[in-house]
Chains A and B, each alone.
Chain A
């Protein structure tokens, strides 16, 4: 803990000594929450489907350190994210931006749910309508036969 504090202090010292006019924002202390927020949106490059925030790998912890340093240098979270996108491409983002070809990823599931709902609605309607239209079919039975059926039903077993 004290080592971390020392590192923070030294980095703060160097930052205050070397704030360039480009990043004129004051070097505010970086909250781990913000680091986590940025890291959670980035893909850990050496893992399968893990974010930089969740991965225990060395690469991910180095990437978290880079995120922390850049935030400490006064960059906004969006700028830090862009820094990684510039180097790795959109591939590094766990959720692709909602434009262009990527829209398919967002729209196809919605469309599939829509088509499914319509299909179910049509089928249910068809089945229930069928029942409503159903009328008992007339069977022509000659009077003698119907008389016999009634007698046998009434007489019981």
Chain B
């Protein structure tokens, strides 16, 4: 009986250790989005120039939907030139980059667009409705939408050339909607 108890205590610690081992390996910031594979929520915004901006206008295109803010340093500042460069490279191949500025004020946001010479459409989400519809919890976050308008990839953090190309090339290779 005594001997059994002596073994039971370290044995009881094992499941706790296993739970901790699992818990510490999981990144609490890596939250899987339930939106992957689902149709991208529609929205209607106005660009900084005042033009209407909606997803419906870009049907049958691969859409790179980027959420950013002018106060998001350094990640948004790192990815802005990369997004612009890849937009210019891919725009004639059925790809559109759309920027949504969230939790921001107009002047610094416009300065951001000007400074990086962004030519892809950018709009402010003033009510936060678009951010919540896409389950955005921080900036920058980027969604890659396939030609059928479904969310396929959510990328958290600054977009790199490699991330942009890998995702866009894969989605371009897929057949479009019939």
Which residues of A are at the interface with B, using a C-beta cutoff of 8 A? 45-46, 58-59, 62-63, 65-66, 84-89, 91, 104, 108, 115
Contacts and interface: CB of A to CB of B under 8 A. Distances in A.
Interface residues of B, number: 19
Interface of B: 12, 19, 31-35, 103, 127-129, 131-138
B137 A88 contact: yes
16 contacts: A58-B128, A62-B128, A62-B131, A62-B132, A63-B128, A66-B127, A85-B34, A87-B34, A87-B35, A87-B132, A87-B133, A87-B134, A87-B135, A88-B31, A89-B33, A104-B19
B79 to A, nearest CB: 19
Contacts of A85: 34
A151 to B, nearest CB: 47
B103 A58 contact: yes
A45 to B, nearest CB: 4
A23 to B, nearest CB: 17
A127 B68 CA distance: 65
A87 B32 CA distance: 10
B135 A59 contact: no
What 8 A-B pairs come out closest when comparing CB atoms?
A: A62-B128, A45-B137, A87-B135, A88-B135, A89-B34, A91-B31, A58-B103, A66-B132
Contacts of A66: 127-129, 132
A121 to B, nearest CB: 14
Nearest to B129: A66
Secondary structure class of chain B's binding surface, majority of residues: loop
B21 to A, nearest CB: 14
A45 B135 CA distance: 9
A117 to B, nearest CB: 15
B132 A63 contact: yes
Given A46-B138, A62-B127, A86 B132 contact: no
Given A46-B137, A58-B103, A87-B132, A65 B127 contact: yes
Nearest to B126: A62
Contact of A89 (B12, B32, B127, B138): B32
B170 to A, nearest CB: 24
A84 B133 CA distance: 8
Nearest to A57: B103
Nearest to B15: A108
Contacts of A88: 31, 33-34, 135, 137
Contacts of B128: 58-59, 62-63, 65-66
A84 B131 CA distance: 11
Contact of B34 (A46, A59, A86): A86
A115 B33 CA distance: 37
A6 B77 CA distance: 40
Choose among A46, A58, A84, A87 the residue with the greatest number of B CB atoms under 10 Å from its CB: A87
B137 A89 contact: no
